[in-house]
Chain A
């Protein structure tokens, strides 16, 4: 075999082998995804990791933070109901870098919410955000997060009002923190207060996932309002005509609606023969309390506010 032929053969072997290796790596990834990527943290202590990081704890914190987001994102995408590693990952991240406030922001909200939108661990969320406040006492937003969890998940309105009040005393805190403190103290259990809290959370959040989460809650309030309003119109129609409306067209012809009503995602609401109004895809509308079709499970079982 001459030299040119050897070159060609070696190049062909290299190309085919590398292509085959990449294809095999993809297959390996699938197999590991099925069975081996189990939830386990082999070094669960942030304090130990900090010592092992040889002073590069900041970089390690960034890696763990990425891992936490990735972990939550993957499980959230799969509509998981168990987020066993979320707290340990956030705990390690914040132990490695106690000033990484985004981890407290993110963690406090997604740890506290009920599955599949979160880990359903509001007590741990409070623990995390309290540590964040100890380490970063000038971050008024952490007080706001603490207030959100106490009000929205733990329904401890007195504590929430205190947290909002404490946060409002910090230089640079937004003026509405004082409003939140007063509103939570006086009207803690009302839906409008919850809506107000989520609106403020949407405005202040930097993280796209946090913003998206707030949007889901605000949509749920919108759906609950819509369903109440539509069912009231249906009841009024029945009262006037003595029959259930066959469709929303009947309400439009009465001049009560300008068009067929749609949910915040743009899907038309469904009017049942018994006069109830349902959403078309409850799975896409977590946190709703009304309009869930019979037999369908709500995407998130909401707590009574």
Chain B
């Protein structure tokens, strides 16, 4: 990563912190504390499952919301405040600006997830009184959640490169929902004949597959996650994010900012 991208990323991170994005950690801490305290009283034998499901789901939802709502404003806000012109008047290329913004928000989400993960493990230790080898699955689930954030940030940037922040949020959220049902789309395609099968299959592969990145219920039940899936999901998220950012940079590069 070149220095210019690094600076833009760092400034994006700093700005997110200034915008009190990390305040969601307080809400998360409250949820986990309440879950850890209450779960023992209302659940029998499934305390760990409840804490894992609730914790990972909260981390995922908080992160996706941040990725969408902060992501769609990354470029628009700079244009509105006219700070973009100051940045681009320096020897910074437009694609570097987009890539820097992506890494800045992705970094913010990684830091945010790290602190929430600490909270989750603390709550887990509180209810289970120990860590087991199976808890390593939580790390995989957290890693997949972070990959989801990368995808979502890239998509938010992509939509914001040609649309208004509100519409970009709607598009990004819609794609998230569709991507969550990617498996069902494949299932529907398998039941269709001829051209419609090819079309739906193509669409199913084109939308980001968020369902393959969601292993929350699996790790809650201590089901092992194959190493090959970890590798392939990593490659998938990287390539898909790269594609979305490249198109966003391409559109932004040709956009008339006057």
Contact = CB atoms under 8 A, between A and B. Distances in A.
Interface of A: 3, 6-7, 10-11, 13-15, 17-18, 20-22, 24-29, 31-32, 34-36, 38, 40, 42, 63, 66-67, 69-70, 73
A1 B228 CA distance: 38
A-side interface mostly: helix
A243 B198 CA distance: 59
Contacts of B95: 6, 10
Contacts of A14: 242-243, 246-247, 250
Interface string B87-120: 0000001010000000000000000000000000
Interface of B: 93, 95, 184, 186-188, 190-191, 205-206, 209, 212, 215, 217-218, 221, 223-226, 228-229, 232-233, 235-236, 239-240, 242-243, 246-247, 249-250, 253-254
B93 A70 contact: no
A10 B184 contact: no
**SS class, residues of chain B in contact with chain A:** helix
Contacts of B206: 22
Contact of B212 (A6, A13, A32, A38): A32
B226 A35 contact: yes
Given A6-B95, A17-B240, A27-B232, A36 B250 contact: no
19 contacts: A3-B253, A6-B93, A11-B246, A17-B239, A17-B243, A18-B240, A20-B235, A21-B236, A24-B235, A25-B212, A31-B229, A32-B212, A34-B226, A35-B226, A38-B223, A63-B184, A69-B191, A70-B191, A73-B190
Contacts of A40: 217, 221
Contacts of B186: 29
Given A7-B250, A14-B247, A21-B236, 11 more contacts: A10-B249, A11-B246, A13-B243, A13-B246, A14-B243, A25-B205, A28-B212, A66-B188, A66-B191, A69-B191, A70-B187
A25 B242 contact: no
A30 to B, nearest CB: 9
Contact of A7 (B240, B243, B253): B253
Contacts of A18: 239-240, 243
A13 B98 CA distance: 15
Given A7-B250, A7-B254, A66 B184 contact: yes
